[in-house]
Amino acid sequence: MQLKRAAFGHDFHWGVSTAAYQIEGAHDADGKGSSIWDEFTQKKKKILNGHHGETACDFYYRYPQDIRLMNQLNIPNYRFSIAWSRIFPDGTGTVNQPGVDFYNRLIDECMANKIQPWVTLYHWDLPAALERKGGWTNREIINWFSSYVEYCVKQFGDRVQRWMILNEPIVFTGAGYFLGVHAPGKKGLTNFLSSAHHAALCQAEGGRIVKSLSPESKVGTTFSYSHIEPLREIEKDRAAVKKTDALLNRLFIEPLLGMGYPLKDLKILQGLERFYKDGDTAKLAFDMDFIGLQNYTRELVRHAPFMPFIKAKIIKAGKRNVERTQMDWEVHPPAIYHALMRWSQYKNLKEIIITENGAAFEDRYEEGEVNDQKRMIYIKDHIAQVLLAKQDGAPVNGYFVWTLMDNFEWAEGYYPKFGLVHVNFKTQERIVKASGKWYAAFLEKKALTDIP
């Protein structure tokens, strides 16, 4: 099949996504405060091989070259996040002007290269000073976050037309406050439920603030979504799917859409009500201009009577003899089609942007080249599924590859390689991989010959 950019229409948004902590480095430069990721990566045995993001891709200093590279790759849109602790080192209170200047320069550089900046306000790097006051478990976060959002929109809103409030709230509350495998490393149901409720309130409040200060801009927020299927076609596994789906896929989007939390399908979520204050039900809802969908794989789930709370278990790809990535995620392109079609059933969902999709594979660097056929095929196959969903009526209007360049992959350190561009972390040299060249050719509107 020939895949042509034109088939998606002229206003379809193509881009790449990154996140501050994963690429910027300069962890304490120019007055930046510590974030929970700066602190978490210092703790023993939390991150594979003891890796951290102190230097990462050194993007804080190398952004002009990286933006120019994006321009050379024909990438018209760039999604990045702002590190809250560069702007407010203590999370709230005094502004750190050099941090503000950095994002002004970065945005200007994008504009100078004809690249639209798409800004995520929170991609997991909470200022450590706020975590010491309870972080997302403290309801005060709504005020801290609101001031931060307000400040950013006033500073950057003259050039930024697309805002995203949160990145994948289920991941930073689930991995960070329930399982303790991401920063800040907290565990337990109470931490999870309180942080989840406050994050859900912040995502809607953030939307209201952006829209009131910058009515012309488009505001959204992003969610991870994995299409979930039963391991066996039996009732118990189907029930396990329903519960897992409520937790992983519906918990944050449905209250935003005014449907409330999916309490009926996962009883344990009823504990969220402990953190309710008067008026919260209405405050959870906000009519976003777009929603970011982030999909990488599908999950197979089975009934597991001994799993606390959820009585369901995800069967990892490694146990299923299927093609998988370095993250042990199954390669299954139709998952993104199913995700889009499922979201199409939600009323009031105006525009969907695929704000992340991509794959980690082991790369081989040979004679100055990285011939990453697997990543190229993965991306191409997923883009083809997005087109199918669009043709079947899904209101999808954008696709961003995760990610521009190899970077710090959270608990997995630098081991998984997700980039279209290879980074030599000793020299910071960048080498465009075959997948990056393919994407550039695709974006150039040339008809593409099939990948061999």
Q: Using CB under 6 A as the criterion, which residues of the chain lie in contact with ligand BGC when the complex forms?
A: 19, 22, 167-168, 171, 224, 294, 356, 402, 409
Q: In 157-267, where does DSSP find H-type helix?
A: 169-173, 189-213, 235-245, 253-256
Based on CB atoms, which residue is closest to ligand BGC, 19 or 107?
A: 19
In the block, tokens 């790759």 appear at 73
Nearest residue (CB) to ligand BGC, 255 versus 416: 416
Give 171 or 304: the residue with its C-beta nearer to ligand BGC: 171
Helix-helix angle 97-112:59-72, to 10 degrees:
10
168 is known as an active-site residue: yes
Q: Which of 98, 6, 1, 78 is nearest to 443 (CA)?
A: 6
CB atoms within 10 A of CB 49: 9
Query: Minimum Å distance from CB 4 to ligand BGC?
Result: 28
Taking Cα atoms as reference points, which of 50, 60, 197, 185 lies closest to residue 124? 185
Q: Which listed residue (24, 299, 356, 409) is catalytic? A: 356
Q: Can you spell out the DSSP letters for 331-379?
A: --THHHHHHHHHHHTSTT---EEEEE--------EETTEE--HHHHHHH
Residue nearest to ligand BGC (CB): 19
In the bound state with ligand BGC, the residue whose beta carbon lies nearer, of 326 and 371, is 326
Q: Phi/psi of residue 315, each to 5°?
A: -95, 110
CB-wise, 231 or 248, nearer to ligand BGC?
Answer: 248
Cα 335 from Cα 325, distance rounded (Å)? 15
Query: Nearest CA to 248 among 273, 274, 231, 266?
Result: 266
Q: Which is nearer to ligand BGC, 85 or 167 (CB)?
A: 167
Query: Do 243 and 265 contact (CB within 8 A), yes or no?
Result: yes
Q: How many Cβ atoms from other residues are within 10 Å of residue 362's Cβ?
A: 11
Asked whether the beta carbons of 146 and 154 are under 8 A apart, the reply is no
157 φψ region: left (φ > 0), alpha (ψ -120 to 50), beta (else): alpha
Residue 359 C-beta: closest distance to ligand BGC, Å: 9
Q: Count H helices and E strands in the chain, helices first.
A: 15, 15
In whole angstroms, what is the distance from residue 444 CA to residue 5 CA? 8
The catalytically annotated residue of 24, 109, 168, 330 is: 168
Tokens of 446: 């040339």
Residue found by looking up tokens 């009519």 in the block: 287
Report which of 65, 62, 66, 60 is spatially closest to residue 27, judged by C-alpha positions: 60
Of 148 and 402, which has the nearer Cβ to ligand BGC?
A: 402
d(CA 160, CA 154): 10
d(CA 95, CA 87): 6
Q: How far is the CB of 327 from ligand BGC (least distance, A)?
A: 6
Q: How far is the CB of 225 from ligand BGC (least distance, A)?
A: 11
Are 290 and 351 spatial neighbours (Cβ–Cβ below 8 Å)?
yes
CA gap 324, 313 in Å, rounded: 18
Residues taking part in catalysis: 168, 356
